[in-house]
Amino acid sequence: INPSIESNVDSSKISIDTNPSVKSINVSTIGEVSEDKILYPLDEVVVPNVETKNNLVVNSVQSSQAINSKYEPPLTNFEDPFVECVSESSSSTGYFASGNTISKAQLNYATKEKQLNFNDNEVDCVSEGGSWNIPVSTLSSDTLSNEQENVDYYELIKEKIVLIYNLTIIDNSAIGLIKTCDLLDEKLYDDVDKWLIKQRRQMILISLLQSNCNNYIDIVSFLSNRIPRNELPNVQDIPYPNLSTNTNYNNGNVNSCELPKTIYNDSILDQFLLFIFRSIVRKEINYKSNVKGIKGLLEEGRHYMLSKEGTPENQHKFVKNSLGGLLTPVLPPFYRLFMSGIIPSVDNNDPKWLTDFVSIVKENLPYKLQKYLESGKQYGPLPYAPFLTSVVTPPFLKFLVGPSRINRRKDGELGGIIVEKCKFLQESNCKGLCLHQCKLPAQQFFQDTLGLPLSVNPNFITQECQWSWGEVPIDPDIDPSFPKGCIDDCPTRTIINTEKYVDKVNICNA
């Protein structure tokens, strides 16, 4: 090869292999790094006037010739848009950790911000290309950081657009869901790219949930180790990964939760709401426990449940009255009007000034329109009510059940929250208290008092709890997801098994 053409290499300093399958040569540099000699890979260059059968690939070239090449090599001039940078030190740290694959633009940005930060101060770059995959000589990160001062925003934006387009053509199917998981597992992308991929995966999950809940459960259960549980739109009936017991039955009883106990940090608002709620409960049941906090509330509830007055109906009643007292007489009328679309009426215990105002408005309407303002008539729940309720409820429910986050109902629509680990259930470990002093009275309160259906679905294995507004609840007696029997290790169970409370043996059932 004439060293004066194209590659500008000294033939005495190259090693040559025959490769008839290509019509070009790939060049990579060798040698040591110095301040005045920077080692670069050269572009793939076409060698003119060479027959196909004699095509040659230059494997290496002296660094002095490489640096004097007429080509203006970029930072990493591979044909593909990605470069894999691997630190030579196993303990290397930095924004781009060992083994990550990053784009040219990302690498340029990292070098500008000096984010390579490898302990050995050196980086090996390898192209992702196929048969022409050529290793690049080791370059110091200091050299890289001084090479380019400006971020190639055009290249970066172009990559994002290409990624977004590729994500939009992925099907809303199980195969499409697996593709998004594969993309995230490959670790090819920066934080923005990962966020985009996760958004597309979320859209696919929601589409699967809305199409067929049972198929969604099967698919997500199969991929439970690849999709974080907190990124699922709904976790009802989804097995908890790596949990030995994902069944609700154990010799007729419900398995106890195996997950570690959560330590709850109550805010000032939580403490205040709990204080007010306990004050109302004490008046309702005429009993006070000296135990502080949520455990004192549970002791008061257990005492009432085991008393002669503690029938399921009476338990529901005192909890509903307590919830009504917590909301004060002011909030329910406005909730019914603006969320449930119920015209104020005396029968609903709406304030007189509100019912009088509606009456005045009705009297001033044309006769044909007056029928639309009949007292107590319901036009809802209004479309936004389930979602808006799911947004405003968590901060005011936290004192009783612990932290929760917004998610989707079982039908895939907005209006749900998932309690990550229910405080009420964890501290009581009692299915009877959960059923009769939380689940059923809460459902009845929202339906009967506020006019919005609510379905509360606890998971006794994980102590998660799904609240879904706008979803009609299933009676526990016929709900296949609600187990029968008592929880193993339930503290109430020992008390119930004594002769004194023989009439309470079925307290855990509806």
Q: Can you give the pLDDT of all 510 residues of the chain as single tens digits?
A: 333 333 333 433 333 343 334 334 444 433 333 333 333 344 443 433 333 333 333 333 333 333 333 333 333 333 334 444 444 333 333 333 333 444 555 555 555 444 443 333 444 444 433 333 333 333 344 444 444 445 577 888 888 899 899 999 999 999 999 999 999 887 677 888 899 999 999 999 999 999 999 999 999 999 988 999 999 999 998 988 877 655 565 556 788 888 899 999 999 999 999 999 999 999 999 999 999 999 999 999 999 998 888 899 999 999 999 999 999 888 999 999 999 999 999 888 889 899 999 999 988 889 888 888 888 899 989 999 999 999 999 999 999 999 999 999 999 999 999 999 999 999 999 999 999 999 999 999 999 999 999 999 999 989 999 999 999 999 988 888 888 888 888 888 878 777 666 666 667 665
Question: Would you give the distance in Å from CA 439 to the centre of its chain?
Answer: 25
Question: Would you give the distance in Å from CA 486 to the centre of its chain?
Answer: 32
Cα gap 258→235, rounded to integer Å? 17
User: What are the phi and psi torsion angles at 125 (to 5°)?
Assistant: -115, 135
**Contact criterion met (CB below 8 Å) for 483 and 247:** no
Angle at 113 between CA 41 and CA 140, to 5 degrees: 40
**Contact criterion met (CB below 8 Å) for 39 and 33:** yes
Q: pTM for the complete prediction?
A: 0.69
**Contact criterion met (CB below 8 Å) for 417 and 395:** no
Terminal-to-terminal C-alpha distance of the chain: 89
**Contact criterion met (CB below 8 Å) for 112 and 150:** yes
Taking residue 454's Cβ as centre, other Cβ atoms within 10 Å add up to 23
**Which token pair is 216?**
């969604």
Helix (H) / strand (E) containing 82: strand 82-87
**Contact criterion met (CB below 8 Å) for 450 and 333:** no
**Contact criterion met (CB below 8 Å) for 443 and 460:** no
**Which token pair is 169?**
């053509």
User: What are the phi and psi torsion angles at 358 (to 5°)?
Assistant: -65, -35
**Which token pair is 409?**
């109902």
Question: Would you give the distance in Å from CA 174 to the centre of its chain?
Answer: 18
Contacts of 427 (CB under 8 A, 6+ apart): 294, 295, 298
